[in-house]
């Protein structure tokens, strides 16, 4: 079938099976356009927690679909591409976190949502890039362990200087590869543009930004800004909604390296097959899910 027919079939199957399609801002344009909800990790977590659908098709990567299952255990959560993973989430496992905690006894763990269910289960509270600073600021402890993203941890520490943030040495391979020299080059090419950066980028890139925030925060900033030119320092998928919502504005990608291979794996045929065959279902051990639910729920309660 052609693309138009496939879209019609997806819509038919979605209605027939009472399914909802959630897609991250980094997904390809065709997938974003077919989704019921497009957003960052916080928005998609909130939607997964409240949906009345029987089936959740999660167009993203594995940890995101896991979070949906943690929050909605009675739903069938499907990941359209079984090997769509997150290298940063793989940079720490539960055993490594337990050893990290032993070196810093009685220090609470704030866990970035970009992590496995098992790591979430070993943590006190989750966060996303949208609410990380708020969550750390409101915690009673004056010292926290932050896993797994050292760059987001560095950003939090600078925003909440009254607290000590001890970060695990993980990183997003997509954002971390951006270099300060690319910022200089982009500024030279587009001197009138505002530079909007994701906090997963390295500190020497983040400190050069005009605005730092999650994908949703970047989208909202660009939407409300009177400026007409922007350099975007996050994964290229966000350009789709930026250009779609702001046709009178111009957006330039900071670096060609800002492409997440895993986020680009999911296609329309994958969505269709996932709905049709209900394949690649996410399952989580119930004892792990219950512990992970606590850290995710505490995050949502504060958001």
* Residue 92 CB neighbour total at 10 angstroms: 23
Between these two residues, 144 and 44, which has the higher pLDDT value?
Answer: 144
Question: Quick one: average pLDDT of 139-162?
Answer: 97
Same domain membership, residue 214 and residue 272: no
Nearest-angstrom CA–CA distance, 58 and 80 = 7
Alpha helix (H) residue ranges in 79-202? 94-103, 117-121, 132-138, 150-159, 173-176, 180-189
Q: How far apart are CA 159 and CA 169, in angstroms?
A: 19
pLDDT-derived band at 46, boundaries 50, 70, 90: confident
Any domain includes 247: yes
- Report pTM: 0.94
Tell me the per-residue pLDDT of 55-95, one tens digit each, with 9 for 90 and over.
Answer: 999 999 999 999 999 999 999 999 999 999 999 999 999 99
Which letter does DSSP use for residue 149 in this model?
B
Shared domain for 51 and 77, answered yes or no, is: yes
Q: Is the residue at 258 inside a domain?
A: no
Give the range of the structural domain holding residue 121, as residue numbers without chain letter.
Answer: 89-173+289-302
For the chain, what percentages of helix, strand and coil (3-state, to nearest 5) are there? Answer: 45, 15, 40
Residues 178 and 40 in one domain: no
DSSP state letter for 83: T
164, 106: one domain: yes
pLDDT computed for residue 258 by the predictor: 98
In 3D, which of 108, 99, 79, 41 has the Cα closest to residue 274? Answer: 79
Instruction: Check whether residue 191 and residue 244 sit in a common domain.
Output: yes
Measure the CA dihedral 160/170/233/116, to 10°.
Answer: -100
What is residue 302's predicted lDDT score, i.e. its pLDDT? 83
Cα 112 to Cα 154: distance, rounded to the nearest angstrom: 13
Domain-located, residue 227: yes
How far apart, in whole angstroms, are the C-alpha atoms of residue 91 and residue 151? 14
- Residue 73 within any structural domain of the chain: yes
Band (41; pLDDT cuts 50, 70, 90):
confident
**Do 56 and 190 share a domain, yes or no?**
no
Report the pLDDT averaged over residues 13-28: 97
- Looking up residue 61, the CATH number of its domain turns out to be 3.40.50.10800
Number of domains in the chain: 3
The average confidence (pLDDT) of the chain is 96
Sheet containing strand 250-253, strands side by side: 211-212, 194-197, 229-233, 250-253
Residues 169 and 296 in one domain: yes
Shared domain check, 245 and 199 = yes
Does the pLDDT at position 96 exceed 80?
Answer: yes
Three-state DSSP at 59 gives strand
Cα-atom radius of gyration of the chain, to the nearest Å? 19
Q: Are 161 and 237 within one domain?
A: no
To 10 degrees, what angle do helices 62-71 and 286-302 make? 90
Cβ atoms 166, 157 nearer than 8 A: no
Region 152-179: mean pLDDT is 98
């Amino acid at each position: 079938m052609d693309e138009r027919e496939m879209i019609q079939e997806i819509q038919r199957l979605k209605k027939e099976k009472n399914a909802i399609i959630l897609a991250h801002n980094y997904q390809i344009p065709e997938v974003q356009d077919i989704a019921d909800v497009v957003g960052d990790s916080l928005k998609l977590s909130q939607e997964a927690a409240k949906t009345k659908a029987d089936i959740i098709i999660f167009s993203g990567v594995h940890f995101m679909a896991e979070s949906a299952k943690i929050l909605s255990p009675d739903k069938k959560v499907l990941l359209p591409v079984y090997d769509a993973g997150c290298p940063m989430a793989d940079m720490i496992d539960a055993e490594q976190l337990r050893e990290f905690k032993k070196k810093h006894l009685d220090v609470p763990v704030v866990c970035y949502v970009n992590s496995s269910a098992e790591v979430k289960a070993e943590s006190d509270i989750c966060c996303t890039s949208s609410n990380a600073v708020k969550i750390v600021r409101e915690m009673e402890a004056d010292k926290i362990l932050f896993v797994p993203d050292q760059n987001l941890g560095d950003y939090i520490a600078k925003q909440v200087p009254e607290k000590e943030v001890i970060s695990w040495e993980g990183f997003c391979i997509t954002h971390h590869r951006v270099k300060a020299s690319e910022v200089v080059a982009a500024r030279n090419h587009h001197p009138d543009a505002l530079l909007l950066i994701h906090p997963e980028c390295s500190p020497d890139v983040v400190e050069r930004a005009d605005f730092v925030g999650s994908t949703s925060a970047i989208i909202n900033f660009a939407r409300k800004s009177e400026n007409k030119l922007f350099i975007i320092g996050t994964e290229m998928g966000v350009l789709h909604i930026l250009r779609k919502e702001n046709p009178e504005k111009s957006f330039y990608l900071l670096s060609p390296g800002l492409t997440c291979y895993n986020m680009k794996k999911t296609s329309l045929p994958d969505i269709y097959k996932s709905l049709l065959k209900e394949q690649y279902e996410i399952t989580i051990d119930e004892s792990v899910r219950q512990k992970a639910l606590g850290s995710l729920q505490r995050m949502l309660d504060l958001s």
